[in-house]
Amino acid sequence: MTILNIQGNFWLYWFMFCGIMMSGYFTAAASIYWLMYLAVGKQPTDGPHEGRLQDSKVIVADIKLSVLSVIFFALGAACFMVCYNQGLTRVYADWKIQNLSYFIFSYVLVLWLQDAYFYFFHRLFHLPSLFKWFHQGHHQSRPPTPWTFFALEPMEAAIQASFLLSITFIIPLHIGVLISILLTMTIWALGNHIGYQVVPYSRLSCCWGRWCIGSAHHLVHHQRYSKHYGLYFTFWDKVMGTQDASYKAQLGVWLTKPGSRPPDSV
């Protein structure tokens, strides 16, 4: 039996997903916050927020926004369940080893589409006329902490959740692939908002930083709002000219001269 076999009305699904997402958010954010900030004693080390930890008021504000985001994402999940039960989505549960290549392809495809969707809407939300209503709450925590990763304004949360719901009507997806996408999104977003570089500097980590977004890459965005809008990959920042020049230059120096000073924001 999978979650797709559970029968129930819309609000039962909504309540169930609220519980799952809420418990996941608090468990993940609290665990990483305790481990990184309290047990290990790490603090932000880059940019204008060096050595500064967030006070409890900012963290509480992040938690309040995150609870609201859970409500909207759970609404999207409940809509999906109702539509799935009526045979309206393209999500399926049958497993065949012959389809493994398609599972991988569909997983990568959706991540790529989601990254593009996120980039352009994220950049749109930073327009002065929209920022207050769609995105301001996410930037109240400077630097970000693990509590920030799900702290979205309600309208932004609804727009991001709508992508995940819409994709289930367009692209055939195995339920395992869909769950993998949701887990990837959650873990990646959490990692992006730790507030400092986690992985030690090395040629491998810098090569990764050229193509994929990590905590320090996204920290640049929380320091300079006009840079680094992506979610997973640096592709759109490079193509659209929003890749921070100092990030790119210092990353290149570290790759060609491993003994040099590591980049401030990799």
β-sheet bridge partners, residue 173? 91
Tens-digit pLDDT profile for residues 166-191 = 999 999 999 999 999 999 999 999 99
Q: Strand pairing partners for 22? A: none
User: How many degrees, rounded to 5, is the angle at CA 143 between CA 245 and CA 234?
Assistant: 35
Vertex 184, ends 262 and 133: CA angle to 5°? 85
- State pLDDT tens for residues 233-253: 999 999 999 999 887 666 654
**pLDDT of amino acid 41:** 61
> What pLDDT sits at residue 34?
86
How confident is the model at residue 53, as a pLDDT?
53
Looking at residue 69, what is its pLDDT?
Answer: 97
In sequence order, the 6+-apart residues with CB closer than 8 A to the CB of 31 are none
Q: How do residues 151-167 score in pLDDT, each as one tens digit?
A: 999 999 999 999 999 99
What confidence score (pLDDT) does residue 250 get? 61
Q: What is the pTM of this model?
A: 0.85
pLDDT digits (tens, 9 = 90+) for 25-78: 999 999 998 887 765 665 554 444 444 455 688 899 999 999 999 999 999 999
